[in-house]
């Protein structure tokens, strides 16, 4: 199952990197730049989603 999650993550990064590349006019030689930017964005969005969908912390009696 983890491989499927990794594959899905890689696909999302690839799609975002491609979009960033197109938005920048399809420059040559900057593939790594777009990949790393896309990876950061996708992982940040994933983290925000995880935080937003996490159950609230349990209130401990004092």
CA angle 10, 15, 20 (to 5 degrees): 120
Residue partners of 19: CB distance under 8 A and separation at least 6: 38
Task: Select the more confidently predicted residue: 52 or 60.
Answer: 52
Please indicate, yes or no, if residue 56 is contained in any of the structural domains: no
Residue 32 to residue 38: CA distance in whole angstroms: 10
Instruction: Show the domain range for 23.
Output: 10-39
Task: Give me 9's structure tokens.
Answer: 């993550």
DSSP 9-44: HHHHHHHHHHHHHHHTT--TT-HHHHHHHHHHHHHH
Q: Per residue in 3-45, pLDDT tens?
A: 788 899 999 999 999 999 999 999 999 999 999 999 999 999 9
Q: Examine residue 24 and state whether it is found in any structural domain, yes or no.
A: yes
pTM assigned to the model: 0.73
Structurally, the chain folds into a number of domains equal to: 1
């Amino acid at each position: 199952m983890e491989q499927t999650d990794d594959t899905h993550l890689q696909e999302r990064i690839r799609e975002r990197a491609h979009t960033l590349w197109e938005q920048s006019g399809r420059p040559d030689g900057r593939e790594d730049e777009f990949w790393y930017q896309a990876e950061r964005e996708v992982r940040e969005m994933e983290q925000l989603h995880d935080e937003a969908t996490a159950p609230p912390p349990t209130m401990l009696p004092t």
